[in-house]
Amino acid sequence: MNEGWTEPASKPSPPFSPAATEAIVETIGSARSPIAGFPRRALAYLIDLFILQCLDLFLFMTGWLAAVLGLQYDSLDGVSPTFSSLFIPTVLLLYFVYFTFFHAYGGQTPGKILVRIKVVADDGQPLRWLHSSIRTLGYSLSSIFFVGFLLALFEKRGRALHDILARSEVVQS
């Protein structure tokens, strides 16, 4: 019935064959944003630390005024022992929430927005909450003698210790 019909010599590869998928991944990989340099990262971190210090000062003054106005002070300096014992854990919680929230929600802290960089997962996707938490906890390890931060100068993708732990990288936005 189909006398003019001949079977093709080879079938075309399906659109999602391993070769096609690999080509797509290479194209996406080459379109990634450039890695953020150490000076930009350091400046963004210093800006964020300044913002956190301002928030800490605000919390301290608010707590101190509440202690003094509430006449709840027991020591000579006018600060309640309860207030003193809660201040440091509150500051640490603020630090953790600040970095975890901003990195998981948009990948940019206010400091990173100002210097135009952002944190992404290794695959270029937004950072998940768990990885953002790990990255924030890794900051404390990186802070020991700044060795973890200096690692970014020598690591081929510019990642610091906390980036390696969280499987993240900082790119220009």
User: pLDDT (tens digit, 9 = 90+) per residue, 89-119?
Assistant: 989 999 999 999 999 999 999 999 999 999 9
What pLDDT, on a 0 to 100 scale, did the predictor assign at position 7?
Answer: 60
Greatest CA separation found in the chain?
106
- Give the pLDDT confidence score for residue 165 in this predicted structure: 96
- The per-residue pLDDT for 145 is 81
d(CA 173, CA 157): 16
Low-confidence stretches of the chain (pLDDT beneath 70): 1-31, 70-84
Q: Which pLDDT score is estimated for 119? A: 97
**Can you give the pLDDT at residue 76?**
47
